Every structure is written in structure tokens, then in C-alpha cells.
């Protein structure tokens, strides 16, 4: 089984202390005992245990990674490292359970998610939260897809091994620079005009679409 570790200290002054090392030792100890591979440990630096997920950058990064990566388990040293305040702790656990993410307490070796799912009231809350969790996941997937599509259109932007224009189509870069060169006594062509000229000459983007002024601008950086 694969899992992520989550560690937290409440103040910036504790970042250089032994809090992180102690928590990670407990997490790795549980993992070693139970044959779990810790893929990554997410560190929440100087975040109070009373903060919700909205104010936890490492927590949000971890959940986003889980939704993409397929890891479904988080191990914490103890539940107060997830959250000090019980209401926030419960809120986070219900949010995670709704996303089918399990939380394990390394100190007690308890699967906390399974425990709260045995409570009928909390189970109902998980199911309600699940509706919004599914929406969040759909929006995230859409956001990532759109980001990949945008990245494919910009110079030097590689996605899933795609080559940059400089690597795949140096002639396009050369022609854009030539067209953008300021003539004597005149003004340089606008990005839109350059795009129109490229399209007139039969050039295509790496995805086979016509050029736009925005794409030309991104290629030039």
C-alpha cells in the first residue's frame, strides 16, 4: 500500500525544531511495521491546528495530488497533528472520507476513517459532503485539462513530453522574429498581424490550429 504522510507545526518558530522529525519518525515507523510505502510527506509549516483546509496550503496540495495520483491513504502521527480543535478535526476527516481518502493515526494504529464511518450521523454527513467532493473533483479534472491545453500552446511549455516550438518548429520562431522586426521608419507588426501572416503562409500551431495573437505573444515570452 502507498500513502502520504502529513505533518504540521503551529508556529514558524517550530519549523526548525524537532516537531517535524518526531512526526515523520512515527509515520515511517507505522509504515515500516505494516508494509506501507510513504510516497511523500507534506509539511504544514506554521499553521494553527484551528485552521480549516482553506488555510492549509500543504493539505490542499496533498489532496490535489491524491485526486490525481491514486494514493488513497494519509498517515499522521496523531489526530492533533491533523487538527487541534475537535470541530476542525471532524470537518477535515469528513471532507477526506467523502473523497474516499483514509486517515491512519500512527500512534494508535487506528484507521480513523473507518471508525467515523461506523457512526450513522457522521456517515450521513460524509455522504452529504461527498456530493460537493465529487463536484470539486470534476472541477479539478477540468481545470487540469484546460491547463494542459494552454501549456501546449505556449513556447517552451512541455506537457507529457511535448516539444517546445524551439525544438519542434524552429522555423516558426525564426519567421515570427522576422515579422516582428521593426522596419525603418515604421512600426513593428502587432501580434495579431504576425498571426495572420503565419496563417496566410500556411503555418500551423503544434496542435494543428491557426495561430492567434495570444499564441504568438506567448511564444515570444
What is d(CA 106, CA 197) in angstroms, rounded to the nearest whole number? 63
Residue range of the domain that includes 43: 2-142
The residue from 111, 142, 173 where one domain ends is 142
**126 and 193 fall within a common domain:** no
Identify the pLDDT of residue 155: 47
- Is 60 exceeded by the pLDDT of residue 129? no
Q: What is the pLDDT of residues 146-194, one digit of tens each?
A: 666 666 666 455 555 556 676 777 888 888 888 888 777 778 888 899 9
Extended strands (E) in 57-196: 73-76, 102-105, 110-111
For 105, phi then psi, to 5°, come to -85, 110
**33 and 111 fall within a common domain:** yes
Identify the pLDDT of residue 151: 66
Let me know how long the chain is. 221
**95 and 186 fall within a common domain:** no
Residue 185 Rama label (left phi>0; alpha psi -120 to 50; beta)? left
38 vs 94 pLDDT, higher one: 38
What is d(CA 52, CA 43) in angstroms, rounded to the nearest whole number? 15
**24 and 110 fall within a common domain:** yes
Q: Of the segments 83-87, 112-116, 128-132, which one has the largest average pLDDT value? A: 112-116
Identify the pLDDT of residue 215: 87
**Average pLDDT across the chain, whole number:** 79
The C-alpha angle with vertex 75 and arms to 74 and 79, in degrees rounded to 5, equals 105
| 55 grid coordinates | 488555510
Identify the pLDDT of residue 130: 47
When pLDDT is averaged across residues 122-141 and rounded to a whole number, the result is 58
**13 and 76 fall within a common domain:** yes
- Tell whether pTM > 0.85: no
Q: Is 18 inside a domain boundary?
A: yes
The 10 Å Cβ neighbour count of residue 93 is 23
Q: Is 156 inside a domain boundary?
A: no
Q: Is 148 inside a domain boundary?
A: no
What is d(CA 152, CA 163) in angstroms, rounded to the nearest whole number? 9
- Is 70 exceeded by the pLDDT of residue 134? no
Q: Is 154 inside a domain boundary?
A: no
Whether the Cβ atoms of residue 145 and residue 160 lie closer than 8 Å to each other: no
Q: What is the pLDDT of residues 42-99, one digit of tens each?
A: 998 877 756 666 678 888 888 888 877 678 999 999 888 888 777 777 888 888 888 8
**172 and 127 fall within a common domain:** no
Q: How many domains does the chain have?
A: 2
What is d(CA 93, CA 133) in angstroms, rounded to the nearest whole number? 13
**128 and 186 fall within a common domain:** no
When pLDDT is averaged across residues 20-28 and rounded to a whole number, the result is 93
Identify the pLDDT of residue 106: 94
CATH code (residue 114): 3.40.50.1390
Amino acid at each position: 500500500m502507498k500513502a502520504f504522510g502529513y505533518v504540521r507545526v503551529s508556529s514558524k518558530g517550530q519549523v526548525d525544531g524537532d516537531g517535524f522529525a518526531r512526526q515523520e519518525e512515527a509515520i515511517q515507523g507505522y509504515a515500516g511495521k505494516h508494509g506501507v510505502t510513504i510516497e511523500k510527506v507534506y509539511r504544514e509549516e506554521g499553521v494553527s491546528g484551528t485552521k480549516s483546509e482553506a488555510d492549509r496550503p500543504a493539505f490542499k496540495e496533498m489532496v490535489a495530488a491524491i485526486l490525481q495520483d491514486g494514493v488513497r491513504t494519509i498517515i499522521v502521527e496523531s489526530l492533533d497533528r491533523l487538527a487541534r480543535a475537535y470541530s476542525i478535526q471532524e470537518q477535515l476527516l469528513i471532507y477526506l472520507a467523502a473523497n474516499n481518502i483514509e486517515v491512519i493515526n500512527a500512534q494508535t494504529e487506528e484507521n480513523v476513517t473507518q471508525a467515523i464511518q461506523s457512526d450513522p450521523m457522521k456517515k450521513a454527513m460524509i455522504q452529504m459532503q461527498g456530493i460537493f467532493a465529487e463536484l470539486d473533483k470534476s472541477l479539478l479534472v477540468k481545470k487540469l485539462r484546460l491547463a494542459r491545453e494552454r501549456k501546449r500552446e505556449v513556447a517552451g511549455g512541455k506537457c507529457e513530453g511535448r516539444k517546445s516550438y524551439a525544438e519542434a518548429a524552429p522555423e516558426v520562431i525564426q519567421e515570427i522574429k522576422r515579422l516582428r522586426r521593426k522596419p525603418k521608419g515604421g512600426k513593428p507588426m502587432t501580434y495579431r498581424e504576425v498571426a495572420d501572416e503565419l496563417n496566410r503562409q500556411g503555418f500551423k500551431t503544434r496542435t494543428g490550429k491557426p495561430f492567434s495573437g495570444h499564441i504568438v505573444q506567448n511564444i515570444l515570452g
